[in-house]
């Protein structure tokens, strides 16, 4: 399928990496008290205003995220990914995203650049159309708006 067909379908894949299933309980000072489901609901509401449908997968396993990116090549117009800690070292995710034709948005709740030095490297950023970081849950809305502009 070419990218024109994919764009006309207007479905996007949101991928959530490890430990994001614990949002709401995990370090609320850093990540807020909202759950991942609440963030995805915001993304879905925003997407529907743009006539876009969202699919979401959370996984704690790198290979599962790689498989989902491969499947997205035939199915989705864009990917929004919060890779969690995989951001900083998962080159298999970098390589998989590089094979994807459409827009890729890297999304973080916190601002990794303002945290520990090991979080300053992103292996996803070089294959992303752009990065949204540090806006908490509002980032999900910003990311979907950005995708809508890019499609």
Is 31 part of the annotated catalytic residue set?
yes
Select which of 76, 94, 108, 140 is catalytic: 108
Select which of 31, 39, 76, 140 is catalytic: 31
Supply the minimum distance, in Å, between the C-beta of residue 106 and ligand DQA.
9
| Binding window for ligand DQA (CB under 6 A); candidates: 42-50, 63-71, 77-85, 140-148 | 77-85
HEC per residue, the chain: CCHHHHHHHCEEEEEECCCHHHCCCCCHHHHCCCCHHHHHHHHHHHHHHCCCEEEEEECCCHHHHHHHHHHHHHHCCEEEEECHHHHHCCHHHHHHHHCCCCCEEEEECCCHHHCCHHHCCCCCHHHCCEEEECCCCHHHHHHHHHHHHHC
Q: Among 32, 84, 103, 137, which residue interacts with ligand DQA (rule: CB under 6 A)? A: 84
| Residues in region 13-52 near ligand DQA by CB under 6 A | 19
Residues found near ligand DQA in the complex (CB under 6 A): 19, 82, 84-85, 87, 108-110, 112, 119
């Amino acid at each position: 399928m070419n990218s024109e067909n994919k764009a006309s379908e207007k479905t996007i894949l949101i991928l959530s990496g490890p430990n994001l299933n614990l949002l709401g309980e995990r370090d609320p000072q850093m990540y807020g008290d909202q759950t991942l489901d609440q963030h995805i609901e915001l993304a879905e509401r925003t997407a529907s205003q743009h006539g876009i449908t969202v699919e979401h997968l959370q996984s704690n396993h790198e290979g599962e995220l790689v498989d989902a990116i491969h499947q997205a090549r035939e199915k989705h117009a864009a990917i929004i990914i919060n890779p969690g800690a995989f951001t900083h070292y998962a080159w298999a995710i970098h390589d998989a995203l590089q094979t994807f034709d459409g827009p890729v948005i890297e999304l973080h709740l916190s601002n990794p650049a303002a945290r520990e030095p090991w979080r300053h490297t992103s292996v996803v950023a070089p294959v992303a159309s752009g990065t949204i970081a540090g806006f908490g849950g509002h980032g999900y809305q910003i990311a979907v708006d950005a995708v809508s502009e890019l499609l």
